[in-house]
């Protein structure tokens, strides 16, 4: 037994890179997950919200102002200024809805005209049915954002509209209790003047206190602000997250398949077959291009099998999205195949390839959204995720299957995946020079 132990250790010691990775791998993962989950405890990811104020009343302005100062929200009332449009116009209900559909923001709030006349509703009685309610437009793939926004909306109302709430309280008192005495009315009015002043002061860019708890009630729709929620993306999807996870999990395993398959290069180099092939008419570029094509087709077939399975078992709507699937599937397959080629050309042994690919693929998958949605991560991690193939592939597939966007809308994802694939392949070709000649 000692001899076997000794032999195993001797073999591991000979492959120094694999030995180092054996220790680096778990520490690397620990660090990455600590950063992701650690930062999630420290900072709640800010939900991007568009607010459209169609009412322009004193109450609506106060509410918008309060929302603008909410730390947990990233509120915008108009698109970001650009050179072409230094002073962009405010969002409209249509452009806000389009932004949610495009995935630019998670939620849009539309404050309808007339809302300010009766902004607060205690109890949600039948008389409130005809009063305009704030519309919350959301993408149902993100279950968290509407609840956060809804809760923040109630909090903002509580802290930004004291006078309005008092006025409404008086109305409800007179309705259900009876008219106030002159003395009560005077005292009420005096206090109301103070509250109105306070409300105006806060409206003048004074951030409301964030001391109150931001946790909303269960649904967030039974608060003092009436809210009508409407999913503008994924309304017709019977299994909301299936397409997301088909892409997310698919890409991760594609990466594993591609790196494993590309590892055949190492086997061929070991056996002398690579040398023999290169002594024929086949050059290194042709050889690598052939392997890249094979690995691309293999990855695409694997992805296709997964989506067909998703259609058969989970009713994923594959057949109406074939063009988008083909474009995204082939782009993704090409990029992951090139990634696998690069890893194989970098590694000296199969053990090194296994360690490097596991480290990189799980890292990319965790920050790129293959393990859990990126919108749950901190801003910094979301930005870091943009450097992964996973995030671009998932974004593209989400556009196809979730947002029903046309193939032309996929150009950023396709360009990045194809571009990244080309660069990775060129790097692989560069590193493969070590096999070319002695």
- Binding footprint of another protein on the chain (CB under 8 A): 271-273, 275-282, 437-438
Q: Check residue 243 and give left, alpha or beta (phi > 0: left; psi -120 to 50: alpha).
A: alpha
For residues 176 and 437, which CB has a smaller minimum distance to another protein in the complex?
A: 437
For residues 277 and 418, which CB has a smaller minimum distance to another protein in the complex?
A: 277
Q: In angstroms, rounded to a whole number, what is the distance separating the alpha carbons of residues 37 and 86?
A: 38
Q: How far is the CB of 433 from another protein (least distance, A)?
A: 12
Q: How far is the CB of 138 from another protein (least distance, A)?
A: 52
Angle, to 10 degrees, between the axis of helix 322-346 and the axis of helix 264-271?
A: 40
375, burial (CB in 10 Å: exposed 0-12, middle 13-18, buried 19+): middle
Q: How far is the CB of 298 from another protein (least distance, A)?
A: 15
Q: How far is the CB of 422 from another protein (least distance, A)?
A: 25
| Pick from 244, 258, 255, 246: nearest CA to 361 | 255
Residue 372 tokens read as 């859990």
> What DSSP state is assigned to residue 409?
G
For residues 207 and 282, which CB has a smaller minimum distance to another protein in the complex?
A: 282
Contact 120, 172 (CB under 8 A): no
Q: How far is the CB of 270 from another protein (least distance, A)?
A: 9
For residues 213 and 438, which CB has a smaller minimum distance to another protein in the complex?
A: 438
| Pick from 385, 381, 389: nearest CA to 414 | 389
For residues 270 and 379, which CB has a smaller minimum distance to another protein in the complex?
A: 270
Place of tokens 């994923």: 316
Q: In angstroms, rounded to a whole number, what is the distance separating the alpha carbons of residues 38 and 359?
A: 20
The upper half-sphere exposure of residue 36, i.e. CA atoms within 13 Å in the direction of its Cβ, equals: 24
Residue 436 tokens read as 């070319």
For residues 179 and 280, which CB has a smaller minimum distance to another protein in the complex?
A: 280
For residues 275 and 379, which CB has a smaller minimum distance to another protein in the complex?
A: 275
For residues 23 and 437, which CB has a smaller minimum distance to another protein in the complex?
A: 437
Residue-level length of the chain: 438
For residues 276 and 430, which CB has a smaller minimum distance to another protein in the complex?
A: 276
Q: How far is the CB of 293 from another protein (least distance, A)?
A: 15
Q: How far is the CB of 290 from another protein (least distance, A)?
A: 10
Q: How far is the CB of 29 from another protein (least distance, A)?
A: 33
Cα dist from 381 to 37, 40, 103, 139, 434, whole Å: 10, 10, 18, 21, 36
Q: How far is the CB of 279 from another protein (least distance, A)?
A: 5
| Pick from 335, 355, 386: nearest CA to 16 | 355
Paired with 111 in beta bridges are 53
Could you write out the three-class secondary structure of 155-207?
HHHHHHCHHHHHHHHHHHHHHHCCCCCHHHHHHHHHHHHHHHHHHHHHHCCCC
């Amino acid at each position: 037994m000692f001899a076997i132990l000794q032999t195993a250790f001797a073999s591991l010691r000979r492959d120094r890179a694999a030995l180092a990775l054996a220790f680096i791998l778990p520490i690397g993962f620990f660090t990455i997950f600590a950063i992701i989950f650690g930062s999630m405890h420290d900072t709640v990811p800010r939900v991007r919200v568009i607010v459209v104020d169609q009412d322009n009343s004193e109450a609506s302005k106060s509410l918008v102002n309060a929302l603008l100062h909410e730390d947990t929200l990233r509120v915008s009332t108009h698109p970001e200024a650009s050179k072409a449009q230094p002073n962009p116009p405010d969002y409209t209900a249509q452009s806000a809805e389009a932004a949610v559909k495009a995935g630019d923001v998670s939620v849009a709030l539309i404050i309808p005209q007339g809302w300010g006349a009766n902004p607060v509703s205690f109890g949600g009685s039948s008389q409130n049915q005809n009063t305009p309610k704030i519309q919350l437009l959301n993408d149902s793939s993100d279950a968290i954002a509407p609840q956060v926004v809804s809760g923040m909306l109630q909090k903002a109302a509580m802290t930004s509209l004291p006078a309005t709430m008092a006025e409404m309280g008086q109305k409800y008192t007179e309705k259900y209790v009876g008219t106030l005495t002159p003395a009560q009315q005077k005292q009420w009015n005096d206090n109301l003047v103070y509250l109105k002043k306070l409300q105006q002061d806060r409206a003048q860019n004074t951030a409301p206190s964030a001391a109150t708890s931001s946790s909303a009630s269960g649904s967030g729709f039974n608060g003092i602000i009436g809210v009508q929620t409407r999913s503008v993306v994924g309304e017709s999807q019977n299994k909301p997250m299936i397409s997301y996870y088909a892409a997310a999990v698919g890409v991760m395993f594609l990466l594993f398949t591609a790196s494993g398959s590309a590892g055949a290069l190492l086997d061929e180099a070991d056996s002398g077959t690579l040398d023999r092939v290169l002594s024929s008419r086949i050059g290194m570029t042709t050889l690598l291009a052939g392997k890249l094509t094979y690995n691309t087709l293999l990855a695409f077939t694997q992805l296709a099998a997964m989506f067909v399975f998703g259609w058969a078992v989970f009713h994923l709507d594959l057949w109406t999205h074939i063009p988008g699937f083909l474009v995204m599937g082939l782009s993704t397959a090409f990029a992951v195949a090139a990634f696998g080629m690069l890893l194989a050309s970098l590694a000296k042994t199969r053990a090194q390839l296994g360690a490097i690919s596991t480290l990189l693929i799980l890292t990319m998958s965790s920050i790129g959204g293959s393990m859990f949605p990126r919108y749950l991560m901190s801003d910094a991690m979301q930005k870091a995720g943009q450097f992964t193939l996973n995030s671009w592939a998932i974004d593209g597939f989400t556009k196809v299957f979730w947002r029903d966007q046309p193939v032309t809308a996929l150009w950023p994802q396709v360009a990045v995946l194809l571009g990244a694939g080309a660069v990775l392949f060129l790097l692989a070709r560069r590193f493969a020079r070590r096999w070319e000649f002695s």
